[in-house]
Amino acid sequence: MSVEAGSGVPAERPDSYVSAALRSPNFMIGATITTLVLLLALVSFVWTPYSYAAQDIPNKLKGLSAAHWFGTDHFGRDILSMIMVGARTSIAVALVAVGVGVVVGVPLGLWAAARRGSLLDEVIMRANDLVFAFPALLIAVLITSVFGPGAVNAIIAIGIFNVPVFARLSRGAALSLWTREFVLAARVAGKGAVRISVEHILPNITNTLVVQVTIQFALGILADAGLAYVGLGAQPPIPSWGKMLADAQTLIGLAPHVAIIPGLAIVLTVLGLNLMGDGLRDIFDPRLRRSRR
């Protein structure tokens, strides 16, 4: 006799993620924009309309035309080429910075969660609070004043800022998992904290981390543009979106497109990443997924 209902938690299968992704407008729009920006950056390695550094003073501050799709700047450089190469810089800086945050922050958070309530937990988390208390820009100014400006130092500054974000997030998510019965079962099976963290905790917080990565990535792009704007990011002649904005600032009345185009590039990229993060969160959250059915 079977009088049991098979009701339970919704299935967590990859195929259900895919179909949920296809039904999420946020994710689809965000992913499309992000993919386009990534393609732009990748193409710039093999082809740009002009060299990003090639100056053509007679043709400076030209508007949008067939020869220069996005016009030229005050040195007559092709803006499209600069945007493409700038995308490369921005993405590289943001990606490595987020990578630093994940690689350092997640293990710290997992370690703190595994030793929750101990002195070690306190030390790790209070140190994180300390770092978190300083804005990324301040850390960047600090680092550049010691080591000089440049893309690498921007990466380090934004990366340090990302560490506490991921440490806190993974600690919080891990804490609730540590009380779950399947983790207790693993402890009864004699598994140590490191093993449980890798085998059971980390795979179960990946969803949360992936969502945060997209959001931090967007923040990274913004932070990179901000640093470049104040001259602490990638140095000329390497173009960067923030530096382009800063250069165009005084010319905004004369040739607005020189400022608008890098501005739009930043806005669209950040928007795309944020939409993608929102979409991913909806897709991974079983409650939201169920209510949409």
Q: Does residue 99 sit in helix, strand or coil? A: helix
- Which range touches another protein (CB under 8 A), out of 122-130, 185-193, 217-225, 229-237? 185-193
Q: Is residue 129 part of the contact set for another protein (CB under 8 A)? A: no
Structure tokens at 284: 């991974």
Among 26, 55, 204, 235, binds another protein (CB under 8 A): 204
Q: Compare residues 196 and 261 and give the one whose CB is closer to another protein.
A: 196
How many residues sit close enough to another protein to count as binding (CB under 8 A)? 30
Distance, in Å, from the CA atom of 133 to the CA atom of 127, rounded to the nearest integer, reads 10
Q: Is residue 184 part of the contact set for another protein (CB under 8 A)? A: yes
Q: Do 153 and 227 touch, CB atoms closer than 8 A?
A: no
- 262: cis peptide before it, omega within 30°? no
CA distances (Å), origin 112, targets 43, 60, 89, 196, 290 = 42, 56, 34, 14, 33
Q: Is residue 207 part of the contact set for another protein (CB under 8 A)? A: no
Q: Is residue 291 part of the contact set for another protein (CB under 8 A)? A: yes
Q: Compare residues 25 and 117 and give the one whose CB is closer to another protein.
A: 117
Q: Tokens 């500054």 label which residue?
A: 157
Q: Is residue 14 part of the contact set for another protein (CB under 8 A)? A: no
Q: Is residue 1 part of the contact set for another protein (CB under 8 A)? A: yes
Cβ of residue 103: shortest distance to another protein, in angstroms?
A: 22
Q: Is residue 182 part of the contact set for another protein (CB under 8 A)? A: yes
State the DSSP code for 250: G
Cβ of residue 123: shortest distance to another protein, in angstroms?
A: 18
Task: For residue 72, give every residue at least 6 positions away whose Cβ sits within 8 Å of its Cβ, in sequence order, or none.
Answer: 56, 59, 60, 61, 62, 78, 79
Q: Is residue 189 part of the contact set for another protein (CB under 8 A)? A: yes
Distance, in Å, from the CA atom of 16 to the CA atom of 57, rounded to the nearest integer, reads 56
- Which range touches another protein (CB under 8 A), out of 22-30, 134-142, 143-151, 197-205? 197-205
Among 200, 257, 281, 289, binds another protein (CB under 8 A): 200
Q: Compare residues 145 and 187 and give the one whose CB is closer to another protein.
A: 187
Q: Tokens 């690689």 label which residue?
A: 103
Q: Is residue 9 part of the contact set for another protein (CB under 8 A)? A: yes
Distance, in Å, from the CA atom of 16 to the CA atom of 31, rounded to the nearest integer, reads 18
Site for another protein, rule CB under 8 A: 1, 3-13, 180-182, 184-191, 195, 199-200, 203-204, 291, 293
